[in-house]
Amino acid sequence: MTSIDTAPDLIARFLHDAARYPGGHAAGVVRPTSVEEMSETLRVAPHQGGPYRVLAVGAQSSLTGGATPFGDLVLSTERLTSLRVEGDCVHAGAGVTLQAIQDALAAIGRWLPPVPTYLGATAGGAVATCAAGAATFKYGTFRSWVHGLTVVLASGEVLTIERGQRRASELIAVPALRMPDVPKSSAGYFLAEGMDLVDLFIGSEGTLGVIAEVVFRTAVQPAARCHALVPVADESTGIQLVADLRAAAQRTWHAHDPLGIDIAAIEHLDARSIAVVREDGVDRKLEITLPTGAGIVLLIEIELSAETAALDLWRQLESARDADAPDSPLKRFCALLDRHGALDDAEIALPDDKTRAAAFAELREAVPAGVNRRVATAQQQIDPGIYKTAADMVVPFERFDEMMRVCRRLFAERGLDLVVWGHISDGNVHPNVIPRSADDVTTGQEAILLLGEAVIAMGGSPLAEHGVGRNPIKQELLRRLYGSAGIDAMRAIKRSLDPNGVLASGVVFPSA
């Protein structure tokens, strides 16, 4: 068995994840180098000098505290780094970063489409949380791309499974729970009649088994991509523009129209987000013009075929308003923006302008960074009881405008400084509070719970893509989504696979 390392310097590396939950502490760290070592660790370690509870961690990029140990034995996957490409699949150890996977695939003209923004996340962590990226609208979440898994159960038993081989009902009793019909939902266990056994472990946050290896399907890279930054006067108009872009993309896919608009992703920043980047001088640094009075900024990724990419794209933009200009995806895209009064302020980066596309992405990432910095400053200067207060919710897109109206009303009624950004093409938003006092944290949590109830009533999920983790508000949202009976059914599955509660205690559900 891999030895348990109790060196303080090593343990200190693993005491926090991206949520920065205070009080992290660990009994020790094990770092297996193979599936066999992981299996022996789980078979022996919980009973050796303990008993230990075990928390498997990857990059610890969790935003929910799910990768913060509280007395656990940390099982780090950082040494499980085998990586090989076979045909249209890639086999990755749990500790392989998404960046390493994309680099290996790029060499043969392929990619893994559902990757999230943070490419330092690991294969095991991404699958354990059912991560989703900006391109969920076109490509789905990680669930759609997992072909097979090697999972080590709490007992040390190793399961190697491929999609289509076994149903979950061969291992557990699958309860009848109705999951939200939305593009993404990281809300406890995936449970559906006739479901594949692979799907049981995806999104289970390390509570049912530890993912040791993943086999992903991959795709041929798009021939080219354009990136557009589109300021829009008000949120309602922006939402309608997104609705029209979504519809146009869906028509393109259905008809296989080579001249159609092929949208992979649409991100958005609200007016307060725009104010944050202005306050921080990010727009000036990046030389991005954001019109005064813009109510929302859309960041749009458009894919082009090889035939379209070979044409004179600059000419297409220059002649976008010419009635006799040849039909093309960019002409149609510009015409759609024009109908919503958004063309004149739009900036489009063509495929060869990777620097500008990177600037758009940096602008987007500057918003959560700016909010997190303000929260940290308030914690230091105002009250140590201040901490990040944020939500992660998704609704069917036709209810998105309604959700945003409810969201703004709930936070405004409580006098909260609200910042909203997210993956608007999926109907997914991240409302964040910039707290000015500890009371703002409490009232912000109250607003999040009420918004979660409204989202559930709209057929959405109050837990879209970040998972549940140890966050008590998210655990309460999970209970409100499925009810106490649903939580009891999930706990029963946990007990059937991990009767001694060895794995990830306190994650997804409060500790019993």
Burial of 145 (0-12, 13-18, 19+ CB in 10 A): buried
pLDDT score at 51:
63
What is the rounded radius of gyration, in angstroms, for the C-alpha atoms of the chain? 23
Q: How many CB atoms within 10 Å of residue 490?
A: 21
> Both tokens of residue 168?
């979950």
Find, among 373, 228, 223, 371, the residue nearest to 299 by Cα: 228
- The gap between the terminal CA atoms of the chain, to the nearest Å, is 29
pLDDT for 487 equals 96
Would 1-220 and 386-489 be classified into the same CATH topology? no
Domain extents for the chain?
A: 1-220, 224-363, 386-489
Q: Which amino acid, 171? A: L
Q: Which fold has domain 1-220?
A: 3.30.465
The string of pLDDT tens digits covering residues 352-364 is: 999 999 999 999 9
The CATH code of the domain at 386-489 is 3.30.70.2740
What does the H/E/C string look like for 406-458? HHHHHHHHCCCCEEEEEEHHHCEEEEEECCCCHHHHHHHHHHHHHHHHHHHHC
What per-residue confidence (pLDDT) applies to 45?
76
Let me know: does 105 contact 218? Beta carbons within 8 Å: yes
Q: What is the pLDDT of residue 483?
A: 96
Neighbour-count burial of 32, counting CB atoms closer than 10 A to its CB (0-12 exposed, 13-18 middle, 19+ buried): buried
The series of mean pLDDT values per 10 residues for the chain, 512 residues long, is 86 84 87 96 77 87 84 95 96 97 97 90 95 91 96 97 96 92 95 96 97 98 97 97 98 96 98 98 96 96 94 92 93 97 97 96 95 93 92 97 98 98 96 96 98 98 94 96 96 96 94 74
The b/e string for 91-128 (b: 16+ C-beta within 10 A; e otherwise) is bbbbbbbbebbbebbeeeebbbbbbbebeebbbbbbbb
Tokens at 335, concatenated: 């015409």
pLDDT given for residue 52 in this prediction: 78
Residue 452 near residue 462, CB atoms below 8 Å: yes
d(CA 152, CA 161): 11
Task: Give residue 407's pLDDT.
Answer: 98
Task: Answer whether CATH 3.10.310.30 is correct for domain 224-363.
Answer: no
Q: What pLDDT is attached to residue 48? A: 67
pTM (2 d.p.):
0.94
For the record, the structure tokens of 141 come out as 């979440």
